[in-house]
């Protein structure tokens, strides 16, 4: 079995059947743009906490508990670094907790802002991880192939290149260790690493030439070519798209009305539990748990069909 076949087999084995993975690419794009945009540009900690919770829950639903824990193991380290580094370099705020040896203050507001930045990091990366799980090469080509074939090709090749490159490097490294026998000295490790890098470089260059030749023979770049699509727009896609746009519109209207006002400097202030803010939280909860609601309905339908 070649490395490409093994790579595709591993990828297919990681995909858990569910609502999001079977949806139309356009409806998926609308949903992820809505939730990711809210997570990236919101300054309200309550909104970010909800986004972080539902993104991690959706990730666990898509990749399983093990995949979610592996994600959190890496993200918590980055989030901790973000939360700790911010008050070390940001000294704004009125509430001074302590002073460093150089006289700069350690403020409560800077600590809160570090936690806020950590929540943004976790929530946005979790939503992007869900996006990466739901979108394969075919869906990216379907979305962007009609408007910008070069962009779609670049995105699909970039998403595919990293795991394929890692699988090939692991294969070559195993062969090099087998050829080296029991010699595991530092000199031998350097030689093995150099050989692996050289082999990978040759494999990448050869593969790029073969891929470009294959694309040329298949008519890539020829004007007025037809696009094949295996995706069918269904009622669930309409519901997901419509609800995503409606809930996001309600959130933006409340945001424009000042319902989610919150600031960190020069002091922490925000009406988190105002009536309009609570209504916005309920709207966001409905938006971000749409995949979980539809997925539970899908599982219930499957159970009834097999009963």
CB 251 within 8 A of CB 280: yes
Contact indicator for 96, 107 with CB cutoff of 8 Å: yes
| 24-28, 46-50, 300-304: segment of lowest average pLDDT | 300-304
Residue (of 11, 299, 269, 276) closest to 135 by Cα position: 11
Per-residue pLDDT tens over the stretch 47-67: 999 999 999 998 888 888 888
Give the pLDDT score at 282.
92
Report which of 168, 79, 144, 61 is spatially closest to residue 116, judged by C-alpha positions: 79
Q: Tens digit of pLDDT for each residue in 90-103?
A: 788 788 888 888 77
Q: State the average pLDDT for the chain.
A: 78
CA 223 to chain centre: 34
Is 115 or 267 the better-scoring residue by pLDDT?
Answer: 115
- pLDDT attached to residue 276: 86
Give the model confidence (pLDDT) of 138-172 as tens digits: 777 777 766 666 666 666 666 666 667 777 777 87
pTM for the structure as a whole: 0.71
Pair 38, 248: CB distance under 8 Å: yes
Residue 105: DSSP 8-state? E
């Amino acid at each position: 079995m070649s490395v490409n076949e093994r790579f595709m087999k591993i990828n297919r084995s990681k995909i858990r059947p569910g609502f999001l993975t079977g949806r139309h690419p356009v409806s998926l794009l609308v949903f992820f743009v809505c939730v990711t945009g809210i997570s990236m540009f919101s300054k309200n900690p309550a909104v970010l906490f909800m986004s972080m919770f539902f993104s991690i829950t959706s990730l666990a639903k898509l990749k399983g508990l093990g995949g979610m824990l592996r994600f959190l193991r890496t993200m918590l380290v980055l989030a901790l670094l973000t939360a700790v580094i911010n008050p070390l370099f940001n000294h704004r705020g009125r509430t001074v907790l302590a002073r460093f040896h150089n006289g700069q203050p350690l403020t409560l507001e800077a600590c809160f802002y570090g936690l806020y930045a950590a929540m943004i990091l976790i929530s946005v990366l979790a939503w992007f991880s869900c996006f990466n799980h739901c979108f394969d090469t075919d869906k990216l080509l379907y979305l962007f192939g009609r408007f910008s074939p070069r962009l779609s090709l670049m995105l699909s090749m970039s998403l595919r290149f990293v795991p394929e490159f890692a699988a090939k490097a692991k294969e070559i490294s195993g062969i090099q260790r087998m050829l080296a026998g029991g010699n595991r000295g530092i000199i031998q490790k350097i030689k093995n690493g150099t050989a692996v890098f050289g082999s990978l470089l040759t494999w990448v260059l050869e593969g790029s030439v073969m891929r470009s030749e294959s694309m040329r023979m298949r008519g890539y770049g020829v004007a007025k070519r037809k696009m094949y699509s295996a995706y069918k727009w269904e009622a669930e896609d309409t519901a997901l798209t419509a609800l995503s746009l409606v809930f996001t519109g309600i959130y933006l209207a409340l945001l424009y009305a000042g319902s989610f006002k919150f600031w960190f400097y020069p002091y922490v202030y925000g009406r988190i539990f105002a009536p309009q803010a609570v209504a916005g939280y309920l709207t966001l909860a409905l938006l971000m748990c749409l995949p979980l609601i539809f997925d539970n309905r899908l599982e219930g339908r499957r159970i009834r069909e097999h009963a």
